[in-house]
Amino acid sequence: MENEKTRCISSERLCDTGFSYTLSLISGKYKMTILYTLMEFTVVRYNELQRYIKGISYKTLSLSLKELENDGLIIRKVYPQIPPKVEYSLSERGKSLMPILDDMCEWGDKNRL
């Protein structure tokens, strides 16, 4: 036990933790909701997302989807047709977050007041 290092908060930085990195990917008012929706419905079109997530603006949904795509959590598939058809789904990286999201849902169901 004498050889164990004692961690001191003054020498640590939250931004260097896995927790902080994960939070940076999923933070935002609607990102977790978008991920949850894709987990539940697998493949979803833009207008379906907007209808399902009541109150989300066009700009906010577009920005959140772009960020999730840039972070490798979702896949955006564009079909070459008129009118344009775009579908969103979870990437393998996004799917790897789903056990955590499932746990959060389960916790919420058990602890809802």
In a domain, 27, yes or no: yes
In a domain, 5, yes or no: no
Range of the domain at 68: 12-111
In a domain, 91, yes or no: yes
Phi and psi torsions of 46, nearest 5° = -55, -50
In a domain, 47, yes or no: yes
Helix (H, G, I), strand (E, B) or coil at 79: strand
- Residue 4 has a pLDDT of 57
State the CATH number of the domain containing residue 29: 1.10.10.10
In a domain, 22, yes or no: yes
Count how many domains the chain has: 1
Q: What proportion of the chain, given as a percentage, has pLDDT over 70?
A: 96
In a domain, 105, yes or no: yes
In a domain, 3, yes or no: no
- Residue 17 has a pLDDT of 81
Residue 56: DSSP 8-state:
-
The predicted-structure confidence for 65-110, as pLDDT tens digits, reads as follows 999 999 999 999 999 998 889 999 999 999 999 998 889 889 999 9
- pTM for the model stands at 0.82
Residue 88, class by beta-carbon neighbours within 10 Å (0-12 exposed, 13-18 middle, 19+ buried)?
A: buried
Q: Are 50 and 58 in contact (CB under 8 A)?
A: yes
- Whether 24 shows a pLDDT value over 70: the answer reads yes
